[in-house]
């Protein structure tokens, strides 16, 4: 019996990584807006939105980890170096 061939490109993993990137960007945008607001004398607005964005980022991260473990595509790609 031949060994299973390695996964060269996993589209689901790529999709999950894009989702993670969007979640991280959203979180950074909100945190930047909060910093700006505090500089303008406001008292830490956007707390709930930042907490929700942080949770979305974490969920996206754990979805990637779970997918890699289930699918076995963790060691065959270097996604952060992939062409966009
Ligand atoms: Zn995969």
The tens digit of pLDDT for each residue in 4-53 reads 555 568 999 999 999 999 999 999 999 999 999 999 999 999 999 999 99
Q: Residue 70 is part of which domain span?
A: 12-77
In a domain, 33, yes or no: yes
Task: Return the closest-CA partner of residue 80 out of 25, 28, 18.
Answer: 18
Whole-model pTM: value is 0.76
How many Å lie between the centroid of ligand 1 and the Cα of residue 28? 27
Residue 62: inside a domain, yes or no? Answer: yes
Q: How confident is the model at residue 67 (pLDDT cuts 50, 70, 90)?
A: very high
Q: Is residue 2 part of a domain?
A: no
| Number of domains present in the structure of the chain | 1
State the distance from the centre of ligand 1 to the C-alpha of 3, rounded, in angstroms. 17
Question: Does any domain span residue 84?
Answer: no
Helix (H, G, I), strand (E, B) or coil at 42: coil
Q: How far is the CA of 53 from the centre of ligand 1 (A)?
A: 25
In a domain, 7, yes or no: no
Q: How many CB atoms lie within 10 A of CB 74?
A: 14
Whether 56 is in a domain gets the answer yes
């Amino acid at each position: 019996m031949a060994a299973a061939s390695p996964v060269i490109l996993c589209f689901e993993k790529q999709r999950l990584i894009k989702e993670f990137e969007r979640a991280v960007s959203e979180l950074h945008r909100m945190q930047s807006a909060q910093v700006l607001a505090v500089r303008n004398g406001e008292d830490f607005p956007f707390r709930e939105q930042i907490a929700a964005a942080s949770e979305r980022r974490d969920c996206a991260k754990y979805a990637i980890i779970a997918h890699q473990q289930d699918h076995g595509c963790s060691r065959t790609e270097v996604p952060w170096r992939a062409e966009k």
